[in-house]
Amino acid sequence: MKSIIGNLVTLLLALSSARISAQVRLTSVNDARGAVDHISIEIGGALFSEFYLGNDYAKPFLAPLRSPSGLIVTRRFPMEQVDGETRDHPHHKGLWIGYGDVNGINFWEVEAQSKPSADNPTAKGKIHLVKLDELKSGKKSGSVTATFAWLSPEGSPVLEEHRIMTFYDDEKLRRIDVDASFTAKTDAKFADTKEGFFAIRVADSMSGKNGGVLTNSEGAHTEKDVWGKHADWVDYVGSIVGKKMGILILDNPQNPNHPPRWHARDYGLFAVNPFGVKDFEPGSTAKGGYQLPAGRSLRFRYRVIVHPGDTSKKEINRWYTDYSKSTK
């Protein structure tokens, strides 16, 4: 009996030690051809999300996002068909990066079933995996580093993107840092459009149409007062199976054109847009868009936090201050 108890204690200690040694575990999963398909992200032994970056996808995306208790806070469509869930905007996939017009190419509505907006190019690009550079698992954080090519319909590179996504262990929150640098492979013109850039589509039950609330750093609420306005951060709070949850995006103060405008909608989209003006401020004399000469680079950094929906604005401002200091 003593030996059995001793062995059981040893086993439990070993399991506990294994969990502590890799609280954030990232695993590469290949497709049937042996090429990388996606990265599985586990935090504290539970699945948090999956980063789909293989070349079967028109663009990389992270989906779905989960709370520490396992609640899914992003819309499942089009990756899954869920009864009763909205099926608009098939290019809205979890968390992603894209832009509606770069050199007359649409890198926002890239999916085959997507219909480009009236003022966006019909020529669809693709964001293609060049290399999975590094995977790191760790006790407190884990990260994936990858290089992508933003390709024209003919396959010519327009931009090279180097992205690092870091995931953190926390009992109450889920935190993601995104660090993306873009180098122009040819002169690259980001047109003036609302369609972009760093985006999340929240679960239907969290949307403004279903009682969810958008709030920005300036204290504004609702789509009417948040959409197109400059802000350091925007928080989207709503309900998931009766539990109040929030998703927060923080814009780094060193990002180009900080503080950015926000493409934030009651139907569930919210996105940081650093370049758009005309759609947000009709008649404005401000100049939108951005010209990135060949060989030059732009760097963008964001923090995403999945949090309890009763988090105060004071606490969010503290998070923002901490984030700003940590990335100088």
CATH number of the domain encompassing residue 201? 2.70.98
SS3 content of the chain, % helix, strand, coil (to 5): 15, 45, 45
User: Does residue 35 form part of some domain?
Assistant: no
User: Does residue 75 form part of some domain?
Assistant: yes
pLDDT at 328: 66
CA 92/CA 21 separation, integer angstroms:
35
pLDDT at 256: 97
User: Does residue 29 form part of some domain?
Assistant: no
CA distances from 286 to 8, 281, 289 (A): 69, 9, 10
User: Does residue 21 form part of some domain?
Assistant: no
User: Does residue 269 form part of some domain?
Assistant: yes
Q: pLDDT tens for residues 243-265?
A: 999 999 999 999 999 999 999 99
User: Does residue 114 form part of some domain?
Assistant: yes
User: Does residue 32 form part of some domain?
Assistant: no
User: Does residue 12 form part of some domain?
Assistant: no
Q: In which domain, by residue range, is 164 found? A: 59-326
Counting as low any pLDDT under 50, the low residues of the chain are 1-2, 4-20
pLDDT at 1: 47
Could you report how far apart the first and last alpha carbons of the chain are, in Å?
A: 58
Question: Checking DSSP bridges between strand 157-168 and strand 261-264, what pairing results, if any?
Answer: unpaired
- Give which of 303, 298, 304 is closest to 102, Cα–Cα: 298
Q: Report pTM.
A: 0.93
Q: Which two tokens stand for residue 313?
A: 């604005």
Domain count across the chain: 1
